[in-house]
Chains A and B, each alone.
Chain A
């Protein structure tokens, strides 16, 4: 009765824990944006950078291209798509540069011209008779010139051609988007371009996905041979990276699992073993996800990608357990301590991550430590009862092959030592330059996708989101006033040629104070009428021609200053909406993108000291964040390696075994890292994390080879089990290295290489007594 209870107890415990974990897992959401994996901001600037990436105006902006040969059909499709989405609640607006929206913008600017014109602050005598006469003469000559037909419709309202001056000053910052057949096109005419702003923010990725699906659905009836839809922009990229990480992690984990099963079945020929091996794997993954979800609220896609690593580790445990069992069902005396040491050293490598203070690394750490321990525990207490009663005889070809391999590797020892020294020398010589901290290189998106995105942005004349000035203030009017000061400084920098341009919202929306000052400079109706009379005398224009002008000036003089609502529904309004945002502290934040900055230091210096003014260099600020992260991760990795070292030194059994293991580990890491550098010419954050995993795996191999086993059977079991483990790990990660997602590819190739090199070094430097046995 008692022994039955002892047998059943582990199962009962497991069942309860598994049920709890399963409940947690089914309520888990998955993060995929790389920002969630990055550390929390350490400085206010970093906080602003992180916010710009996560929630800046770009986070809701879709760039849509309709590609094809026949530009007339593309334009038709663009108009139809816009119309189909016009009242879709998922979109704030969909713009394609159609003439009606261009006209709407011009109408607004025409109405606001005396409050926003670049001339409005100029001489107060602008509307005195002599100045008016000069304007009229200029108008007369314009009406005889090439722009006559364009100017004529507004000539009676706008004799000083204020609207033209405003449009010119707005266009000065960059080439306007090309237009064909009345809609936006890429310069080469092969892509009709639309801009769409989603109603949902970045936090609601699923709502964004719904809106993008609606866009695709709306395009479906327009689809015809030779016309393709391309969707870019931050939300589309975020969804794409989620899909590609999830898809790859899922597909490749499955492929890895299938090939591991195939290898194990080919070697061990036992269905029962395979079924039993699923137990530690499932327990480990379930426990890892549940623990991560419980502690962090969600699980990151990159963490899940590491799930595959756990499969490898857990399969290894089953293999060791299966192959070391004696025919009578018992285990060698030193087997379980060795197993515990293997699991503990792998876990120790990741344990340091849990304390790193970085969300992403902490997730990886918790996931791995809990997963490894759960897999280890289920291997110890549940697996033996499930394994086949008698381990199958070892296939002789494998044993012979591995023996021959080991003999060969032992001969190559000098070469391996030289290679290791060369690897260390290479890494030492490259030093800090091996690290690539560009966010793009750890982005889950492929370079092809990023290239498409860059082209779309170029089509739309959007800056590379590189440099921008943020102006913060407690309310909109104060923010506008501060931005006007910033605008003056920036105009000075532009005049000196230090920057090419800047997109200042106050050109379209001056502060109320500035507008009132401009209103006060406008003449009273009687004054203006009499000055106009004087100016008209002797001119080519008929009296009364410019009555609409008189009415317009009076309306501008007496109206309420314009606010953001004045532009609502126009493209200008959308543009301003993107530049005016609520700041974290309940105030207002204005964004002023800079273009063509030739001298960042002077730009910073010119704006320094402005209250609430921040200059952000997104690319290098993000790189600094990643660099910081990577550096701290290096310390964490070192701490993990140290933990492994101490554990092995303490528990390896003999000083010689410990010394062997501790020489093999750095050798494996150096060779793997150097190989990665030779192939990819750089290392990233994810290589670093993968190397930590390599240390864990290689320490297991080294431990089993370095330990003295009992007799030939023991040696053979060690060789066979480690050989099999390395084979399965190698294949699993080789598959991962085929992923189109750079992050998964980096991890895959690093670990596959590390497993192979770890096995080679472990075999070559195994305890001599065994190899000769």
Chain B
């Protein structure tokens, strides 16, 4: 399988309004999501980078991301330490590196709810669910697309101002979560393509 070029290079810089003639219209977006839905489950490796004013350099971690339709989402971090997050339905199980495993209600934690609703909808191809939770703006074309999400819920917006999701064809490649404090968490899905290091 030929490696496609890195997605990031082909995209406009963050925060700049996209105004290209190739904008994904409603019909194209719906057909994109139908193709995403056709995947069924997904399992892919990821690299996550937190870019923060607190940190000397970006904090990086790696692991495996799994989506099992209809509503199970797992993010297992393997390095630099083992941590886990499993969201199934309305409950989230978190396993911090050196803390005890805890079960939380997703609806009590807008940050978890935002993560769960966006990733589940993107990986499972549920456009209606995405529209319910976010103001959705799509750009690009069917082969290289970008979907900007702004949480509709005020509480969620107080923590996560915006999410940019980018993909190629029927695969989600990158998922940037912009926190209210200015931190950006980049999640690179590298199962079928080059990682974030490939420039």
Is A381 among interface residues, defined by CB-CB distance under 8 A?
Answer: no
Please tell me if B81 contacts chain A, counting CB pairs below 8 Å: yes
| Chain B residues within an 8 Å CB radius of A148 | 50, 185
Chain A, 130-152, contact with B by CB distance < 8 Å: what is the 0/1 string? 00000000101111111111101
Contact in complex: B153, A146 (CB < 8 Å): no
Contact of B94 among A141, A147, A176, A179 (CB under 8 A): A147
Show the binding face of B for A, using Cβ within 8 Å.
Answer: 48, 50, 52-57, 59, 61, 75, 77, 80-81, 83-85, 92, 94-98, 105, 107-109, 111-112, 115, 153-155, 159-160, 177, 179-181, 183, 185
User: Given the complex, which residues of B lie within 8 Å of A179, measured CB to CB?
Assistant: 105, 107-108
A–B complex contacts, Cβ < 8 Å, 18 sampled: A141-B98, A142-B97, A143-B52, A144-B77, A144-B80, A144-B81, A144-B83, A145-B94, A146-B85, A148-B50, A149-B115, A152-B179, A178-B105, A178-B107, A182-B155, A540-B56, A542-B53, A545-B53
Tell me the chain A residues, 508-546 only, with Cβ under 8 Å from chain B. 540-542, 545
Kindly report which residue of chain A lies nearest to residue B183, judged by CB atoms.
A152
Other than A178-B105, A540-B56, give 7 A-B pairs with Cβ distance below 8 A. Answer: A143-B54, A144-B48, A144-B80, A146-B85, A178-B108, A180-B107, A542-B56
Closest to A546 in B: B54
Cβ of A122 under 8 Å from chain B: no
Complex contacts, B155 vs chain A, CB 8 Å: 99, 182
B159 contact set on A, CB distance < 8 A:
149-150, 153
Chain B's closest residue to A145 (CB) is B83
Q: How many residues of A contact B (CB 8 A)?
A: 26
Report chain B residues within 8 Å CB of A156.
54
Please give the distance in Å from A765's CB to the nearest CB on chain B. Answer: 71
A286 to B105 Cα, complex, angstroms: 62
1/0 contact string of A174-188 vs chain B (CB within 8 Å)? 001011101000000
Inter-chain CA distance A147–B52, complex, in Å, is 16
With an 8 A cutoff between CB atoms, is A315 at the interface? no
A155 interface residue per 8 A CB criterion: yes
Q: How far is the CB of A154 from chain B (nearest CB, A)?
A: 10
Cα of A427 to Cα of B108 in the assembled complex, Å: 57
Residue among A99, A146, A153, A545 with the highest chain B CB neighbour number at 10 A: A146
Please, how many angstroms separate the alpha-carbon atoms of A155 and B77 in the complex?
A: 21
Pick the residue among A143, A149, A176 that contacts B108 (CB under 8 A): A176
Residue of A nearest to B180 (CB): A153
Instruction: Name the 5 nearest CB pairs between A and B, nearest first.
Output: A146-B85, A149-B111, A145-B83, A141-B97, A146-B94
8 Å CB interface, A538-572 against B: 540-542, 545
Contact A143 B50 (CB under 8 A): yes
Alpha-carbon gap, A545 to B55, bound state (A):
8
Contacts of A180 in B (CB 8 A): 107
The answer to whether residues A150 and B96 also contact, given A143-B52, A540-B59 and a CB cut-off of 8 A, is no
With the chains together, A150 CA to B154 CA distance in Å? 15
List chain A residues, Cβ under 8 A from B94.
145-147
Considering the complex, give the chain A residue whose CB is closest to the CB of B115. A149
Chain B binding surface SS class: mixed
* In the complex, chain A residues 46-63 whose Cβ is within 8 Å of any chain B Cβ: none
Choose one: B53, B59, B95, B177; the contact of A146 (CB below 8 Å). Answer: B95
- B79 and chain A: residue at smallest CB distance: A144
Q: How far is the CB of A540 from chain B (nearest CB, A)?
A: 5
Using A145-B96, A149-B159 as known contacts, say yes or no to A542 and B185 having CB atoms under 8 A apart. Answer: no
Smallest beta-carbon distance B186→chain A, Å: 13
Q: How far, in Å, is A68 (CB) from chain B's closest CB? A: 18
B57 touches A141 (CB 8 A): no
Name the distance in Å between B59's Cβ and chain A's nearest Cβ.
5
Q: Which residues of B contact A146 (CB under 8 A)?
A: 75, 83-85, 92, 94-96, 112
**A140 to B181 alpha-carbon distance, docked (Å):** 16
CB contact list, A149-208 vs B, under 8 A:
149-150, 152-153, 155-156, 176, 178-180, 182
**Residues of A close to B80: CB separation below 8 A:** 141, 144
- Do B54 and A150 touch across chains, with their CB atoms under 8 A apart? no
Residues of A within 8 A of B180 (CB): 153
A142 lies within 8 A of B115 (CB): no
Enumerate A276-327 residues with CB–CB distance to B below 8 Å.
none
Q: Which residues of chain A are near B115, meaning CB under 8 Å?
A: 149
In whole angstroms, what is the CA distance A179 to B109 when docked? 10
Pairwise interchain contact A147-B96, C-beta atoms closer than 8 A: yes
Task: Give the chain B neighbours of A147 by CB distance below 8 A.
Answer: 94, 96
Q: Choose from B81, B105, B177 the contact partner of A141 (Cβ within 8 Å).
A: B81
Q: B61's closest neighbor in chain A, by CB?
A: A144
Evaluate contact between B56 and A142: CB separation under 8 angstroms. Answer: no
Instruction: Compute how far the CA of A140 lies from the CA of B111 in the bound complex, rounded to whole angstroms.
Output: 18
CA distance A178 to B108 in the complex (A): 7
* Contact B84–A149 (Cβ < 8 Å): no
Whether B50 contacts A144 by the Cβ 8 Å rule is: yes
- Chain A residues whose CB sits within 8 angstroms of the CB of B154 once the complex forms: 99, 182
Residues from chain A with a CB closer than 8 A to the CB of B111 are: 149-150
A149 touches B179 (CB 8 A): yes
Q: Which single residue of chain A is at the shortest CB-CB distance from B95?
A: A146
With CB as the reference atom, state the residue of chain B lying closest to A175. B105
Cβ of B84: which chain A residues have Cβ within 8 Å of it? Answer: 146
Contacts of A178 in B (CB 8 A): 105, 107-108
Docked Cα-Cα span, A176 to B109, in Å, equals: 13
Q: Chain B nearest CB: distance from A14 CB in Å?
A: 71
A138–B81 Cα distance when bound, in Å, is 11
Minimum CB distance partner of B114 in chain A:
A149
Q: How far is the CB of B157 from chain A (nearest CB, A)?
A: 11
- Give the complex CA separation of A178 and B159 in angstroms: 20
Per the bound structure, the CA–CA distance linking A37 and B26 in Å amounts to 71
Cβ distance B199 to chain A, nearest Cβ, rounded Å: 23
Contact of B181 among A145, A153, A182 (CB under 8 A): A153
Roughly how many angstroms separate A138 CA and B85 CA in the complex, as a whole number?
17
The interface residues of chain A lying within 8 Å CB-to-CB of B56 are: 540-542
Q: Report A720-737 CB contacts with B as 1/0, cut-off 8 Å.
A: 000000000000000000
Name the A residues within 8 Å of B83 (CB-CB). 141, 144-146
CA distance A156 to B54 in the complex (A): 8
Distance of B57 from chain A, by nearest CB (Å): 7
Give the distance in Å from the alpha carbon of A182 to the alpha carbon of B85 in the complex: 23
Which residue of chain B has its CB nearest to the CB of A139?
B54
User: CB-nearest residue of chain A relative to B53?
Assistant: A542
